[in-house]
Amino acid sequence: MEMFLSADSHSMLLWGQAVILGIIQGITEYLPVSSGAHLLLAERLMFPATRSRAFDMFNTMLQFASVWVVLLFYRRQARKVFAGLMGRSPEGLRLFLNLLWAFIPTAIAGHLFGSHIKQYCDNLKFIAAALAIGGVYIFIVVRFYRSRQRLATLSRGQSLFIGISQSLALFPGVSRSLMTISAGLWMGLSMSDAVEFSFLLGAGTIGAATLHQFIFNGMSLGTEFVGRAAFVCGVISAFIASGTAMKFFIKRFSMLILSAFACYRIALALFIFSWGLDI
């Protein structure tokens, strides 16, 4: 059981712990429940006395594993986008440009306000509040949603609105999937189209974040808490867990499922408020 035990502030991340973190991240990355909040809670339980930049780099790579899952599940759309960039698919080029427009607000907000937002990343009280507010917000979306259009007719302005919504997910506990799926629903997309655009946009955003991490911060995986064995185990488990979660939920997303996630967010927030703040 040693591989799952909590380590002290001077220990490397054990591979069993990395697997747990990978599974948590993989399951929650594309669900509207905030993978960041779940990872922070897990890390607080495993390392109650400390948290370092190594965790952030490790979490980024866990997220990157989920990018490949999206490309696998949406390979037809990915091929269409590539064909559009080659001038062979007007529909693919339109989708790429919409994704680009949706990505820009998050890139700008991250650059301008990223350092200020980081102060909230370890604040469980703030995260719990964000989870609860997000749960209530889901109920509002479910109550007033009306389907009006398809993804192929999404305009640049509507894509920009989805992107602005995604930028709010820079705050921990908000959930990128929640903001992009709900924004797509507000624009009148069907649930399947809103989920598709959200996942594709998420793959691009996470891929860009990983590239930024490589260029500006490096990936010193052999230092502090994240060793190479833990890194490999975590990434593999994140890939498998993410694929399993997507296969189960990708065709099952509905207003009823969304409402269930709202209840879960509120319950998790109450749990954090009643107990988690003392972790």
Residue 98 lies in a domain: yes
Instruction: Give the model confidence (pLDDT) of 74-109 as tens digits.
Output: 999 999 999 999 989 999 999 999 999 999 999 999
Residue 277 makes CB contacts below 8 A (sequence gap 6+) with: 124, 125, 128
Which residues is 149 bridged to in the sheet? 189
Instruction: Give the model confidence (pLDDT) of 38-52 as tens digits.
Output: 988 888 887 766 555
Number of folded domains in the chain? 1
> What pLDDT is recorded for position 1?
40
CB 62 within 8 A of CB 25: yes
The pTM of the full predicted model, rounded to 2 decimals, is: 0.89
Nearest to 96 by CA among 29, 40, 159: 159
Place of tokens 């230092």: 223
> What pLDDT is recorded for position 194?
95
Identify the weakest region by mean pLDDT among 34-38, 146-150, 152-156.
146-150
Band the pLDDT of 196: cuts 50, 70, 90.
very high
> What pLDDT is recorded for position 222?
44
Residue 2 lies in a domain: no
Residue 158 lies in a domain: yes
> What pLDDT is recorded for position 4?
42
The residue segments making up the domain with residue 56 are 12-278
Residue 271 lies in a domain: yes
Cα atoms in the 13 Å half-sphere on the side-chain side of 20: 17
Res 134 pLDDT > 60? yes
CB 22 within 8 A of CB 237: yes
> What pLDDT is recorded for position 25?
93
